[in-house]
A and B are shown apart, each in its own frame.
Chain A
């Protein structure tokens, strides 16, 4: 990306800092979060066994802590023709005006308020917390900080996630 495009994207992003975009994630599925646990190589009983989870004081099997904030896409698509040559979705900009940039996850800070269980209906409230234009070792980059608040059908915030991305 050219320097001008970085500047334009930086200015566009700065203009929407604090604006909240809602993304319905749909109903949580035990099978999906248990597959996540298996893929992580962590099949602790609390994630995969209802009885064992109850014995630990959970209501039933619970989602691994990083399930909500680790899943990249919650929609059926995109279609393959809507992917970039590197496989990333053209719209994978966490609902923010960062088109044309590639985001690399740099880490998260999560606060867990309530257990995530099968059948919960979750909406993510997403906003840009901040953006900085920087000169890295390999050139210009944007450091993007995103705030995601995951809220259940009863209006309870179940998880708060602050994530940093490097956008090139």
Chain B
């Protein structure tokens, strides 16, 4: 889990502000369950021998699971009431069970729009060797509290 427990108020969010790190340690069991619920029978995600026969070090973390990790980092930080409006990510480097994936980021823009506070942020998922596995970008809507301009 991310270390932050108090969600930020929109008025206090500034460009450059860090999004706290969320550390994920995917396991073979997690990959199997993710394949099951997404009806993805590709052996590369749950059959180690098969994955190695394709030249990979072990079974691979699913593309979309990298995205889910980045979303969790962003929304854990944003807190209750915040809404993800847009999100994108790219898969750049593979990850396998046992990897330690650290998801964090920083705020790149803030504005008010249609009665909401809107925050854009860039996101990063790095492995334990510092390799960038998945960069991402999110737009999050925040409820405006009393005293915050709409």
Contacts and interface: CB of A to CB of B under 8 A. Distances in A.
Q: Tell me whether A and B are bound partners.
A: yes
Contact of A39 (B33, B43, B143): B33
B56 to A, nearest CB: 12
B85 interface: yes
Interface in B78-103: 80-81, 83-91
A26 interface: no
Interface in A17-62: 32, 35-36, 38-42, 44-46, 55-57
B15 interface: no
Nearest to B33: A39
**Chain B: interface size category:** 35 or more
Grouping DSSP codes into helix (H, G, I), strand (E, B) and loop, the A interface class, with mixed when no group exceeds half, is: mixed
B94 to A, nearest CB: 10
B24 interface: yes
A109 B41 contact: no
Interface string B53-92: 0000000001111011101100110001101111111110
Contact of B39 (A40, A72, A110, A164): A72
Contact of A73 (B39, B63, B86): B39
A64 B91 contact: no
Interface residues of A, number: 38
Nearest to B74: A65
B132 interface: no
B86 A39 contact: no
A110 B88 contact: yes
Given A46-B80, A55-B80, A105-B63, A65 B88 contact: no
A111 B85 contact: yes
B83 A109 contact: no
A109 B88 contact: yes
Given A41-B30, A65-B71, A86-B50, A71 B38 contact: yes
Nearest to B43: A87
B86 A111 contact: yes
Contacts of A104: 63
Contacts of B47: 87
Nearest to A104: B63
Nearest to A85: B43
A5 interface: no
Interface string A130-168: 000000000000000000000000000000000010000
26 contacts: A39-B33, A39-B37, A39-B38, A40-B72, A42-B68, A46-B80, A55-B80, A56-B80, A56-B81, A65-B71, A86-B50, A87-B41, A87-B44, A88-B42, A89-B41, A105-B91, A106-B90, A107-B63, A107-B88, A108-B89, A109-B86, A109-B87, A110-B87, A112-B83, A112-B85, A112-B86
Given A64-B71, A87-B42, 10 more contacts: A42-B68, A42-B72, A57-B143, A65-B84, A71-B37, A72-B39, A73-B40, A105-B62, A105-B63, A112-B86
